[in-house]
């Protein structure tokens, strides 16, 4: 693979490594949203949430917790956001599965999420039914 993160995994491009194990690598984001903004990736390539191996997703999730604890101990943030973008409409620009771990401080104004919409129980019931009907698992 010729993408940036594959090259980082192979050691062909540098990174500021935070933690590593057999399945995952965590390193500082090059353009951080906040101090300590860290990316966690599987060492095995996946594009996004849809095609990444489930075992790698689980390994990344465990590493995300390790990184969150490291950031909490080291930088003493007030909170942490865990964020994953899949496909361009969500904001994904690097097409190698990665999870953002972003320390947050009260009033930092880094970003806010969605504007909540009103509850619509009839629509929710129909939608949940459609989703259950498509569940092959």
Whose Cβ is closer to ligand AMP: residue 11's or residue 116's?
A: 11
From 6, 29, 49, 57, residue interacting with ligand AMP (rule: CB under 6 A): 29
**Binding pattern to ligand AMP, positions 105-124, x when CB under 6 A?**
--------------------
Name the one residue in this structure whose structure tokens are 């390994």: 59
Nearer to ligand AMP, 91 or 116 (CB): 91
Contacting ligand AMP (CB under 6 A), which of 70, 82, 85, 108?
Answer: 85
Distance CA 46, CA 43 (A): 9
Q: Which stretch binds ligand AMP (CB under 6 A): 49-57, 66-74, 85-93, 113-121?
A: 85-93
Q: Is the distance from CB of 100 to CB of 81 less than 8 angstroms?
A: yes
Any residues with CB less than 8 A from the CB of 41 and at least 6 apart, and which? 5, 8, 9, 24, 25, 26, 60, 96, 97, 98, 99
Does the footprint of ligand AMP cover residue 31 (CB under 6 A)? Answer: yes
SS3 1: coil
Q: Considering only the stretches 23-31, 43-51, 56-64, 118-126, report the one whose residues sit in contact with ligand AMP under the rule CB under 6 A.
A: 23-31
The answer to whether 74 touches 36, Cβ cutoff 8 Å, is yes
**98 tagged catalytic:** yes
The site for ligand AMP, by CB under 6 A, has a size of: 11
Strand pairing class (79-83; 38-42): unpaired
Residues interacting with ligand AMP, by CB under 6 A? 4, 15, 29-31, 39, 85, 91-94
């Amino acid at each position: 693979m010729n993408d940036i993160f594959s090259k980082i995994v192979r050691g062909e491009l540098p990174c500021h490594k935070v933690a590593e194990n057999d399945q995952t690598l965590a390193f500082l984001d090059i353009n951080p949203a906040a101090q300590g903004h860290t990316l966690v990736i599987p060492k095995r390539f996946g594009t996004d949430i849809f095609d990444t191996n489930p075992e790698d997703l689980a390994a990344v999730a465990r590493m995300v917790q390790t990184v969150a604890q490291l950031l909490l101990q080291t930088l003493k943030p007030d909170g942490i956001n865990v964020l994953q973008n899949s496909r361009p409409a969500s904001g994904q620009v690097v097409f190698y599965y990665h999870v953002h771990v972003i320390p947050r401080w009260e009033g930092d104004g880094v970003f806010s999420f969605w504007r909540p919409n009103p509850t619509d129980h009839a629509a929710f019931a129909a939608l949940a039914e459609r989703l259950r009907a498509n569940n092959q698992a």
